[in-house]
Amino acid sequence: MFFKKQFRGIAIFTLSAFLCFTFSFEYSYAQEENPLLNAQGLYKQGKFIEAVKVLETFIEKISGSPTEQKRLAEAYYLLARIYYEASEDARVEEYLKQAVEAFADIGKEEGDLDFKARLERARGEWQKIQVSKDKTTPVVENETAKKEAAKSIMIEKEKPAPQFKIKKKFPWLLTILGVGVVAALVVLLTKKKDQTLTEQTLNVTIGEGVNGTPAAGSYNYQKDAVVNYSYSLQSGYSNLTVNLDGSSVAASGDISMNGNHNLTVSATKIVTTSFWDGFESSSVGSPPTDWEIYTNGNSIAVTDSTFSEGSKSLFMQGKPNNSAIIQRWLSNFGFTTGTFNITYFMKVDGSKWTGTEGEANFSVTFFGKELTLGVKKVGGVLKMQYIDTGVRIVDIPGGVNVENWIVYKIVFNSVSGIAQYYVNNILLGQGSSYASSSSNRITLGVGVGNSYPSAYFDSISIIR
C-alpha cells in the first residue's frame, strides 16, 4: 500500500513538472539568440508589444548592413503583420513599403488574401518609384542611405506605442494540454476504485490489562485475507472480553477480511478491598474499631490466639436468644457493577459451641441483593448453609473440617444477580440472590437458638 501511494505521488509530481515545462517552452524559446525568431514567437503568443520592441531593436541594429536586407525586410514585414492585427492601416502600409524596399520579393507565399493585396499594392508603388528613380534620381551614396535609415528608425521610436485591438485566437494548445491533464488525473484517481474493491480495514481497540496481537490501530488487508488474533490478560486483571463487530468471540482465532471489521478487547482491573485491617489495629479483648456492633451476644473481641493471616482475628460468640452481630457499611468504597469474588476465612470453635442449634454466618448486601454463607448446627450436627431465594442447608463436603481455618467464597454477578457459593473452592450451589432493600454492608453474626455458637473470622475481602 505504501509503495502504491508513493508511486501515485511521484506520477502526479512528474506530470506537473512536465506541464510546467510545456507551458514555459514557448517563453524559453523566445529567449534564444535570434531576435527575428524571438519576435515571431512573441507574435504567435499574442505578445504584440514585446514583439514590436524586439523588431525595432533588431532593425536599428542591421539597417545599415547590405548583407542583412532580406532579414531587414522580414522584420518590417512582421511589423506590418502585427499592425495589421491591430487594424492600424497607416503603419501597415508604411512597413510593407519598407519591407519591399529592403527585399522586393518579400511575402511571395502570403496566404491572407487581404494582406497580400496590400503587399502587392506596396510592391507596385515601389516598382513605379524605382522606374522613376532610374530616369531622374542620382544614386544615393551608401553613407547617406545609412543616415536616412537610422533617421527613419528614430522617427518610428518616437511614435506612440500601438494600441492593439488583439484578435483573440482560440487557445488550442492550452485546451489540448488541459484535456491531457484531466485524462491523467482521471486515470490516477480511479485507481482508488481498485483499492476500495481489494482492500478491507480492520480497526482494533484494546483496553488496559490486555496482551496480544494485532495491537491497537487500523490495518488494511487484501479482500478475503485471513488475520490471526490472540489476546490474554495481564497480571492484576480479569474478565477478558473480545468482541468482533459487537459480538463476543474467543480470545484467539482468525478473522476473514470479507469486509471492514471492528475488533474490541477489554479487561477488568482486579481491585481488592480488605475489611480485616481493623482486626490487626485493634486491641486484643476489644471489638474492632472500624466495625459497628449491632447486638452484643456473649462476646465480640479481637484475639491473637488464632488467625489465618496477620497476627489477630475476631472471635464472636452468641448466646440463647441474643446473637452477636457486627456490621460495616460499604457506601464509601465506590463499587461499580461487575463480577465480585467475596471471600472470608472462618473457623468454628466446637469446644465453645454448646447446644444443638445455632449458626455462624457471613452476609453481604449490595446492588439490592443479600448474600449469605456459613455454618448451621441442626440437631447437634454441623452443616453448610447458604441463602439465595431461600435457605439452603447442605452437608459439609468430604475432607472439609469447619473447625479449622477454611476459605468461604461467594462469586456474585451484580448484573445477572446470580451467585455461586464455595467452601475451599468446592461449589455448594448457585442461584438467584435474595432481594434486599437494605443499605450496602457486610454483616458477621453468630447466634439463634438455645446454644452458644462460637466462631473466628479473618481475611475478609471483596475482589472485583
| Strand intervals (E) in 53-95 | none
Output the pLDDT for position 153.
46
Write down the domain spans for the chain.
2-158, 199-269, 273-463
**What's the distance, Cα to Cα, between the start and end of the chain in Å?**
44
Distance CA 247, CA 253 (A): 14
Beta bridge partners of 377: 382
CATH, domain range 273-463: 2.60.120.200
Q: What is the DSSP letter of 433?
A: P
- What pLDDT sits at residue 403? 93
The pLDDT, as a whole number, for residue 270 is: 84
* Consecutive 10-residue averages of pLDDT for the chain (464 residues): 49 51 43 77 89 90 86 90 89 90 87 89 86 59 48 48 47 64 60 62 95 95 94 90 95 95 92 84 92 92 92 93 90 76 94 91 88 93 90 92 94 90 94 83 90 93 87
Question: CA nearest 1: which of 131, 195, 152?
Answer: 195
Structure confidence at residue 406 (pLDDT): 93
pLDDT of residue 16: 57
Give the model's pLDDT for residue 437: 83
The pLDDT value recorded for residue 155 is 46
pTM attached to this predicted model: 0.52
Query: Please, which residues have CB within 8 angstroms of residue 249's CB and are 6 or more apart in sequence?
Result: 242, 243
Output the pLDDT for position 422. 96
Which superfamily does 2-158 belong to? Tetratricopeptide repeat domain (1.25.40.10)
| DSSP designation for 414 | T
C-alpha pair distances (Å), 73 with each of 40, 76, 90, 98, 411: 14, 5, 18, 7, 110
